[in-house]
Each structure stands twice: as C-alpha cells, then as structure tokens.
C-alpha cells in the first residue's frame, strides 16, 4: 500500500506540474547558451549512444520490446478497421512521438553520466523528475501533432485516391505507383509529412533532455530547442535524416529492429543535447 501511495503521489504531483506548466507558458526568461556544432560531431554522438546501449544492453532490450509491440498492434488495428491508407502515415508518424517515447532512455543516459549504476527500472525515474508534469504537457503536444498528421494524411487520400477504401493491398499499391492520383498522393503526403517532422524536430530535439537536466519551464525548453536548430541548421538536418533512416531500417523487419534503433537514437539524442546546450 505504501508503494502504491508513493507512486500515486508522484503521478498526482505530475498532474499538478502539468497544470502549472500550461498556466505559465511564455513566462520563462533565462535562456541556456547554445553552441554551434558540425555534422561530424554527430558521429561522436552516435558512438556515445551505441556505448550507452552496449553498457546496459539486456536491460534496454527488455525495456524497448514495447516499441515493436506497439507498432505491430497499430498495424493490426489498421488492417482490422479497414484503414489501409493510414498504414504508412501511422508507421512514419512514430517519429513524431519518438522524442517523448525515448524520455526514459534520456534518463538512463543522464544517470550513467553521473556514474550511477542503473537498470531498466531507472528509465521510469523520470516520473520522479520535478519537471515530470511539464514533460507530459510537451508529450501531449507531440501526440496532438501526430493526430493532426493522421488527419492530414487521411484528407490527402480522400482528395486523391479516395474516398472509397482500397479493396486490397495489391490494388492499393498498384494505384499508388501506376496512376497520376497515386503519385500526387505520394508527393503531397511526403511534403506535408516533412513539414510535420521539421516542426517536431525543432521543438523537441533539445527540450526533453533539457527538462530532465535543468530547472527550466516549458517555454524555455521549447525556445532553447528552436534556437539550437536555428544555430545548427545543417547538422540538425543531417540528424533528422539519421533518425528517419534509422526508423525506416528498424521498421523493415516487422518493427523488431526498433529494439536496437530506438535505444541507440534515444541515448544519442541525450549526447546531442550535451554538445549543443552548454
């Protein structure tokens, strides 16, 4: 019972912090300094991410089994509810909520950096963070962006190949690659999806690690992330391509590759934050 009360108190405090975060958006003033980095620095970031993964491989693999499971469930729901046109938007949209899904991995890297012995359970230490409520608010914002992307993808389908759902996967693939409407859907969808991805990268690449690491508010975290991207447009563009490419590779083998790709990218994001924010 005491343990349940302990967890409940953390969650209740998180909701209180979330409400406060919403009420105080825009009131932060102090901005952490932002460094300029080079694209070559991303190699070191990935090496450090791989090192974190290898240091706690068993724990992290156990923790990250949830990623392919969730992805497979989403695919199953797509097929079972006749939403085949949303299959690719659902799979690619995982990148939009990925920064929030990787918060536990940031926490593991943060603790390892401090020399603390950790297990997979420490990934949930984020619940005890003083900024847990603020992290939840930002996570809900990414979820809202993800839902908007699905809405946009559905509208694009409706105005190109729709409104009738495809009769089969083969017929859907044939329409995509052999008709002008299919090519229009692909080009418009990729372009719109790119804009959503840029938005999420800009507001989240630094903000989640910063909230874990320092006593800052939501506005400061998001503005710092925007400043970090603005100061390093080329390296951040390359980082976005690395993340997108990694998620594609991780999704090819029935999403099982995400067990490795997600933790490496998550840990690497923490080290990217360390390089960018002084």
pLDDT in tens, the chain (278 residues): 444 444 445 555 555 555 555 545 545 557 889 999 998 899 999 999 999 888 877 656 655 677 777 777 777 766 666 677 887 888 788 788 888 888 888 988 888 888 777 666 666 777 777 888 899 999 999 999 999 999 999 999 999 987 888 877 888 888 888 899 989 999 999 999 999 999 999 999 999 999 998 989 999 999 999 999 999 999 999 999 999 888 888 777 767 777 788 889 999 999 999 999 97
Which pLDDT score is estimated for 274?
94
DSSP 8-state secondary structure symbol assigned to residue 128: G
Which pLDDT score is estimated for 2?
46
Nearest alpha-carbon partner for 111 in 125, 98, 97: 125
Do you find a cis peptide bond into 245, omega within 30 degrees of 0? no
Which pLDDT score is estimated for 7?
47
Which pLDDT score is estimated for 84?
77
Nearest alpha-carbon partner for 205 in 275, 153, 109: 275
Which pLDDT score is estimated for 101?
84
Say if residues 258 and 247 touch (Cβ distance below 8 Å): yes
Which pLDDT score is estimated for 23?
44
- Distance (Å, rounded) from C-alpha 75 to C-alpha 88? 9
Nearest alpha-carbon partner for 207 in 127, 112, 106: 106
Say if residues 252 and 260 touch (Cβ distance below 8 Å): no
Instruction: Collect all residues with Cβ–Cβ distance below 8 Å to 107 and sequence separation of at least 6.
Output: 122, 123, 125, 126, 129, 212
Distance, C-alpha 131 to centroid of its chain: 18
Which pLDDT score is estimated for 132?
86
């Amino acid at each position: 019972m005491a343990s349940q009360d302990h967890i409940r108190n953390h969650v209740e405090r998180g909701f209180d912090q979330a409400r406060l975060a919403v009420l105080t958006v825009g009131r932060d003033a102090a901005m952490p300094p932002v460094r300029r980095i080079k694209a070559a620095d991303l190699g070191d970031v990935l090496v450090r991410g791989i090192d974190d993964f290898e240091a706690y491989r068993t724990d992290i693999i156990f923790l990250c089994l949830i990623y392919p499971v969730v992805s497979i469930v989403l695919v199953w729901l797509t097929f079972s509810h006749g939403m085949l046109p949303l299959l690719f938007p659902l799979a690619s949209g995982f990148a939009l909520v990925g920064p929030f899904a990787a918060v536990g991995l940031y926490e593991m890297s943060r603790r390892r950096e401090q020399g603390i012995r950790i297990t997979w359970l420490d990934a949930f230490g984020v619940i005890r963070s003083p900024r847990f409520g603020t992290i939840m608010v930002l996570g809900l914002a990414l979820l809202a962006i993800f839902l908007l992307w699905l809405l946009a993808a559905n509208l694009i389908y409706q105005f190109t190949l729709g409104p009738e759902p495809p009769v089969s996967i083969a017929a859907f693939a044939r329409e995509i690659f052999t008709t002008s409407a299919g090519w229009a859907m692909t080009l418009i969808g990729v372009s719109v999806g790119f804009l959503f991805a840029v938005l999420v990268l800009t507001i989240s690449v630094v903000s989640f690690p910063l909230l874990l690491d320092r006593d800052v508010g939501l506005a400061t975290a998001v503005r710092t992330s925007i400043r970090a991207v603005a100061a390093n447009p080329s390296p951040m563009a390359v980082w976005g391509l690395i993340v997108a490419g990694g998620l594609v590779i991780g999704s090819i083998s029935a999403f099982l590759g995400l067990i490795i790709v997600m933790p490496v990218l998550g840990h690497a994001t923490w080290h990217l934050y360390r390089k960018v924010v002084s």
